[in-house]
Amino acid sequence: MHVKTLILFGSLGATATGGGIYLAIKDSPKPISELLSSEAGLLPITNDLDEKWNAAWKNYRDSHKESGSMTYKNRDRWNINGWETKKSEDVAPKEFKEACKSQSQSKVYSKNDQKYKDVKSWCTRPKKIRELLNWEGKRILLDATGDGEMWGKSWGEYRKHHEKSRQASSITYEDSDVLSVAQWQNKRSQEQVPQEYKDACKTKSEEYINMDQVTNDPVFSKVKRWCTKPK
């Protein structure tokens, strides 16, 4: 057999069965950004204006403190340009953002790779409620300017959920509601869907999930129940 062929077999692995030889090709490495897409509760920070950059930068700086000290190490893992001066700054520098974007394109074989763990720790943020809904792929938010019938049904069920007592035609509602609808005490008796209800759905959908709960986050469950429709 040709030498190059033998080398190829050695690198890929070969198995002989019957009259044929089958190559066992190992999994190819994937970009860290691609592997991150399977994380239920996290998203890589990509927008330069994302409000979570400063928190990510703090995590990076804190991981480079001397043991038992508030002093930062002289060198950092990613060799951030200007680290000596920037390590004491609270605002995430562009050099850190660029490092995150560059590191997220590194290819690794699994989530156990330290490079993956570093990017996950330093360059990601919790998903917002609406982003987690998109990731699940089962339900989507009701259209703020459409879905009139669905909004009506949702609002009717929402009001019923907050009934305290019902006597003949008289209904008493809870003083507070789970979505914190503005002017709830004035709106709760209205049959027509108030704009404040739609606004509450939108506001809650923009909140970040609790990373310890993810899909079990109570706010996520509320938005999913009252503000969505099947995809």
What tens digit of pLDDT does each residue of 66-113 get? 987 889 999 999 999 999 999 999 999 999 999 999 999 999 999 999
The model's pTM is: 0.80
Cα(95)–Cα(87) distance, integer angstroms: 11
Instruction: Specify whether the backbone of 222 is left (phi greater than 0), alpha (psi in -120 to 50) or beta.
Output: alpha
pLDDT at 137 over 50: yes
Cβ-contact 44, 127 below 8 angstroms: no
pLDDT at 70: 84
Residue 5 — pLDDT band, cuts 50, 70, 90?
A: very low
Is residue 8 predicted with pLDDT exceeding 80? no
**Cα–Cα dist 108/132, whole Å:** 25
Q: Which residues contact 216 (CB under 8 A, 6 or more apart)?
A: none
Within 10 A of 200 (CB to CB), how many other CB atoms are there? Answer: 23
What's the CA gap between 226 and 231, in Å, rounded?
15
